[in-house]
Structure 1
Amino acid sequence: MTTPTISSNQFRSIVIYTTCGTALLSLPTTLANIVSQDAWWIPLVSLLLGFPYVLLIILFGRWFPNDTFVIMLTRLFGTWFGKIAGVLFLLLPFLSAPHHLHFFTQFIMTHFFRDTPSIILTASFMAVVTVAVYRDIEVIGRASELTMFIFIFSVLLFSVFVIQDVDTSYLKPMFQNEPRTYVETILFMNSRIVAVHMIILLVLFPRNIQDKRKAEHALISGYIIACLLLFITVFLSITILGPELTKIQLYTGFKLGQRVEIAGIIERLESFLYVIFFITLFFKLAIYLYATSFSFANIIGIRNHEPLAIPFGILITVLSMTEFKSMIDDSDFYFLGSLYLIIPIAYIIPALMLITGIIKRARANEPIIPKQASEANTQNHHDL
């Protein structure tokens, strides 16, 4: 069976969408509630401190350029332990997707479809995502590339119109919190934004990218662009709304959009936020569902993973409507429950992969850091 592939540009778009997602709306409030006016520089520091994790993902990709993530695990840990680690990994996208779906449903019910039953909105949106995943990664890749211009244009247009209200006095005084608070905030962002999504992207990186050398550049550039977009979002929220108002505004972007008023002609640009949020969450959930169905197929030995997108899409929809009764339940999972998934899956498993891989490659007299990932396009990888 031919491996479906996407271009490096399409992969870059997927990285941006997956990394941003719901954080474009919720991150300013989250950070402001922890470190107040210092929230604006947290994304920049997290960008730097999270970069080694991105390099670690690239290293795994060079070790196993033509393997799926589950196969990577079985090569390193053996068949049984590798599949057990694969099952643990499977829980990360599968249990994270209902949270994001619920957050999106509450968002559009609050601002657009107040009288529409939540089950209709949830099921309709997830149905579109499921169809995309059923059509496989090539369709998702093409769609991400086609919508990237709309996404970037909407972000830039919105930023240009609200930047006139920036007040840097909101940034002072700086560093008024305990050092431990800043450390915890940076670790939180690295865990929720960087580690979770980089490890999930191993499902298709670099196996499903046409040029594996360019795939590495696309991963790095996509990561940097996504973090800068998050920085812009947080900076504008803090400097325009102020830290106190940002703390209580769950959807800060809409509050910013309502402030736009230029000569009575251009005003209330919150609809652009809806476009941005819809696009990013669609691709985030598509990658979550793709990672779930594809990894499960790998674990049980099924070649055709597309039909699995339907039952998993239904399960995610049901979990979204039954496990989250309110935004309080949603918040509890985001800040507490999800950590039980992130720590073992996004930190412990990669650490064990790194240690085991280094030992096996050293015993086999293979270089720890292969020079060129692109060479693997035409070469068969042998077991460690």
Structure 2
Amino acid sequence: MGGQRKLSVYQFTVLTIMFSLGSTLLVISSGMADELEQDAWLGAALGTLGGLVLVWLYTALAGRFPDKTLTELSTHLLGRTAGRVFMLAYFFFNFYSAAALTWYVGNFLTTYLFTETPRPVLMILYVAVMLYGTHLGLGALARSAETSFMIFMSGLVVVMLSLLPEARTANLMPVLESGPGPLARASLTFASFAYFPWISLLMIYPKHVSRPEACGKALYTAVLSSGAILTAVTALTVMVLGPDRTSIELYPTYSLTMKINIGHFFERIEALLVLLWLLAIFYQVVLCYYAAVSGLAHMIRVDEYRSLNLSAGLCLVPFALLIYPNVGYEQAWDFKVWPLFSLTFALWPAVLLIVATVRGRRTKRHAKNGR
């Protein structure tokens, strides 16, 4: 973010892990179980491979252009007109992602906690906090993430260990009953939630990271760490709730914590999971929204993205209510349309890498002919 110091490799790793967990932590188990039943955890594990492929792609591009954001690179390689077309589509993708995540927060809170409160009110309050975080800049966000990450991981470990007495490994049997087709579809869905939105992070990496050459290992660490956490959570959800109930729950991970009961003393800790989820999704929303407004600022040639922060933020809640009129529509979009929609943007760096390679070869050929 403009005017802020660059992120350290550790800060970028933490932000990437939190970004991956975000919305995925609470909702992905349901879609996995609906497609694969007891093999839901296997779909999450294989979906992690998609994240590894994207890391290879993104680091290859960042290695060639370490001083450019994704929008700057698109203009540099494709020209002003084609670059602006991409920037407009990229703005829509990130703004849509931020609006969808805001809708998740509002829908979850009104469903389970604040049932008498209008959903738009909660969404407005959450957006206000998000806009303040965006205004503070990437440096402040990264420093807060360093502290929040330790709290997040400690709380998640407590929740998972507390659920082990309720886990039944029989709910995971038999293995590989679903077949390769459903497994491939579920893996794509998992990757579309956890890793395809990483395209938003290319407004930060590599330009705003202090040592971009060291971020390759950090990104692989982020993929493997988030993949292991999400696979474990999915497996635990199926073991505790069973595949049938997991598939019909809107937020199965939240329902999971209701099962915690140790000695009739340590129980009813759902609020802990809510805190953890709101913490993780906050960083995801802020980073998606930052990618949207900073990309828009570059497109319309505004030097400071903060001048667009409030005006774009005022449109976020109305847009969120427009794109998801009800829960049924949201479920259909997320598991039928979103995987392919997000894939088209996730693979955009591959297009840029091909263009850069072709242009590089042409430049070398012309230079050789000139000699």
Q: TM-score normalized by structure 1?
A: 0.90
CA contact (8 A) 2:30 2:250 kept: yes
CA contact (8 A) 2:30 2:249 kept: yes
| Equivalent-residue separation in structure 2 for 1:182 and 1:338 (angstroms) | 17
Q: TM-score normalized by structure 2?
A: 0.93
Deviation at 1:243, TM superposition (A): 0.3
Deviation at 1:177, TM superposition (A): 2.3
Compute the RMSD of aligned alpha carbons.
1.8
| Equivalent-residue separation in structure 2 for 1:345 and 1:137 (angstroms) | 23
CA offsets 1:118-174 (integer angstroms, 9 cap, x no match):
121000001000111112211211111121111001110101110122211111122
Residues 63 and 108 of structure 1: is their aligned pair in 2 closer, same or farther, counting only changes over 3 Å?
A: same
CA contact (8 A) 1:103 1:330 kept: no
CA offsets 1:263-321 (integer angstroms, 9 cap, x no match):
22211221111011100111110001100000001111111011212122211111122
Say whether residues 1:260 and 2:253 are aligned partners: no
User: Residue 373 of structure 1 corresponds to which residue in structure 2?
Assistant: none
User: Residue 211 of structure 2 corresponds to which residue in structure 1?
Assistant: 211
Q: How many residues align?
A: 364
CA offsets 1:220-278 (integer angstroms, 9 cap, x no match):
21222111111111010011111011111211122221111112221122111101110
User: Residue 360 of structure 1 corresponds to which residue in structure 2?
Assistant: 359
Unaligned segments of structure 1, at least 5 residues: 367-384
| Equivalent-residue separation in structure 2 for 1:148 and 1:276 (angstroms) | 10
User: Residue 159 of structure 2 corresponds to which residue in structure 1?
Assistant: 158
How do 1:13-28 and structure 2 match up within 5 A?
13-28=14-29
Residues 3 and 75 of structure 1: is their aligned pair in 2 closer, same or farther, counting only changes over 3 Å?
A: farther
CA contact (8 A) 2:192 2:338 kept: no
1:180 aligns to what SS in structure 2? Answer: helix
Residues 332 and 311 of structure 1: is their aligned pair in 2 closer, same or farther, counting only changes over 3 Å?
A: farther
User: Residue 128 of structure 1 corresponds to which residue in structure 2?
Assistant: 129
User: Residue 189 of structure 2 corresponds to which residue in structure 1?
Assistant: 188
Equivalent position amino acid for 1:29 in 2: S
User: Residue 174 of structure 1 corresponds to which residue in structure 2?
Assistant: 175
User: Residue 90 of structure 2 corresponds to which residue in structure 1?
Assistant: 89
| Equivalent-residue separation in structure 1 for 2:8 and 2:350 (angstroms) | 29
User: Residue 307 of structure 2 corresponds to which residue in structure 1?
Assistant: 307
| Equivalent-residue separation in structure 2 for 1:336 and 1:287 (angstroms) | 25
| Equivalent-residue separation in structure 2 for 1:339 and 1:190 (angstroms) | 8
User: Residue 226 of structure 2 corresponds to which residue in structure 1?
Assistant: 226
User: Residue 372 of structure 1 corresponds to which residue in structure 2?
Assistant: none
Greater mean deviation of Cα atoms: 171-180 or 263-272: 171-180
Deviation at 1:359, TM superposition (A): 1.3
Deviation at 1:65, TM superposition (A): 0.8
Residues 220 and 340 of structure 1: is their aligned pair in 2 closer, same or farther, counting only changes over 3 Å?
A: closer
CA offsets 1:305-355 (integer angstroms, 9 cap, x no match):
1121212221111112233222112223313443563243222x2232121
Residues 225 and 256 of structure 1: is their aligned pair in 2 closer, same or farther, counting only changes over 3 Å?
A: same
How do 1:73-84 and structure 2 match up within 5 A?
73-84=74-85
Equivalent position amino acid for 1:73 in 2: S
Unaligned segments of structure 2, at least 5 residues: 366-371
| Equivalent-residue separation in structure 1 for 2:55 and 2:82 (angstroms) | 25
| Equivalent-residue separation in structure 1 for 2:147 and 2:306 (angstroms) | 22
| Equivalent-residue separation in structure 1 for 2:266 and 2:59 (angstroms) | 44
